[in-house]
Amino acid sequence: MTTLRSLLTPDKPDTPAPHLDRLTPIAAMPGGEIDVHGQHLDSQGAHIPRATIGDIAAPITLSRPTRASIHVPEGTITGNLILHRSATESNPLHLRVAVPMAENLHPVANPAVDANGNVYATVSGERGQAVPVSIFQIQRDFQIRPFVRDILNATGLAFDPDGYLYASSRAEGTVYRISPDGAVSTYAEGMGIATGIAFDRDGNLFVGDRSGTIFKISRASSGSAAGEIFVYATLEPSIAAYHLAFNDAGTLFVTGPTTSSNQAIHAIDRDGNTTVFYQGLGRAQGLAFDVNNNLYVAASLRGQRGIIRITPRHEATLTVSGNNLIGLAFLEDGNATLATHDALYHVALDIQGRRLT
């Protein structure tokens, strides 16, 4: 029965609580942005949704019924993301957030990881700038110690099968061999603007010259000496550095940042033949593979910056959201270290990385 009271104060249906189904991507850097997918994620009348990640308020930059975009503030750590609206709140979804593991660095390529899980990163400096420490070692408990001094503009890092670290100098065009106790010797010279380096499964070293050449240095009978050096492939010049990584089949994958937003990842077979593996990235840089042959690259995809995952079927998705990323390396137990222009971060991704040697 209709009453005067019901006409004056009609009943209002209960505002449904937001419901969260999934997050994309699965992880973020502080300062990154993630999308949450679900139902009832938009405003309801005067009730505007707000988000929290653990104890931290996270700004909502876009709100639609089935999708909301959320900024991950500085200082955020891994925790539950919850959407709140009026007196209701959503179910929680677990968001992985990278945390700093070493600061005051200057990586310009991937960090390197030794067999004991220690991470190595450079203080590369400006072109021609000498720095007090060229390479730091970050131990598994995040303790950082100087490892190598006096390499000018240390750039690319890679370990050989015997556990020696190699570093390129883009200022000198030289590759240095570094013993486990930090002793440095010259391994190869005349590499142009030497940047990214990588070893294949046979112990041959490949070096990217920023002017457009990929060199191959054959492994000599003595591990301390370089073998034959020759041009393996030629690509377009890069505005920054070449970045190199091998997959299980022995194919070399190469990026070299350009000003294009439609940049390619090149694949070079064991005979030196070059093809385009994937095209459509912005400023693609450091590369790494997981055990399932998925390729991860620091790049922009459709306007989103972070770590991009590209499957063997050439399907690309964002795995980690974050600005200023230039490289990565996988650690044990599914973790990864991410390199920005001035720091390394640690994040749990549940991704098993491919062994590099």
pLDDT digits (tens, 9 = 90+) for 194-241: 999 999 999 999 999 999 999 999 987 766 778 899 999 999 898 888
Region 317-345 average pLDDT: 97
Region 60-73 average pLDDT: 96
The answer to whether 317 and 346 have CB atoms below 8 angstroms apart is: no
* Prediction pTM value: 0.93
* Closest to 81 (Cα-Cα) out of 9, 18, 172: 18
User: Two tokens at 34?
Assistant: 């993630």
User: Two tokens at 59?
Assistant: 């700004």
Region 29-55 average pLDDT: 93
* Closest to 154 (Cα-Cα) out of 180, 175, 181: 175
* Closest to 297 (Cα-Cα) out of 329, 251, 341: 329
Provide the pLDDT for residue 8: 41
The answer to whether 246 and 254 have CB atoms below 8 angstroms apart is: no
Provide the pLDDT for residue 85: 92
Lowest mean pLDDT among 45-54, 70-79, 174-183: 45-54
pLDDT band at 7 (very low <50, low <70, confident <90, very high): very low
Q: Domains, the chain, ranges and CATH? A: 19-97 (2.60.40.10), 100-348 (2.120.10.30)
- Which residues touch 202 (CB under 8 Å, ≥6 apart)? 219
Phi-psi region of 341 (alpha: psi -120 to 50; beta: other; left: phi over 0): alpha
Provide the pLDDT for residue 340: 98
Residues facing 167 on adjacent strands: 157, 176
Provide the pLDDT for residue 5: 40
Lowest mean pLDDT among 38-52, 221-235, 324-338: 221-235
What percent of the chain shows pLDDT beyond 70?
95
User: Two tokens at 116?
Assistant: 């004991």
Region 307-321 average pLDDT: 98
pLDDT band at 149 (very low <50, low <70, confident <90, very high): very high
Number of neighbouring beta carbons within 10 Å of residue 30: 19
pLDDT band at 357 (very low <50, low <70, confident <90, very high): low
The answer, yes or no, to whether residue 15 has pLDDT greater than 90, is: no
Longest dimension (CA), the chain: 98
Provide the pLDDT for residue 223: 65
Region 30-59 average pLDDT: 93
The answer, yes or no, to whether residue 49 has pLDDT greater than 90, is: yes
pLDDT in tens, 279-309: 999 999 999 999 999 999 999 999 999 999 9
Q: For residue 4, what is the enclosing H or E element?
A: helix 4-8
The answer, yes or no, to whether residue 265 has pLDDT greater than 80, is: yes
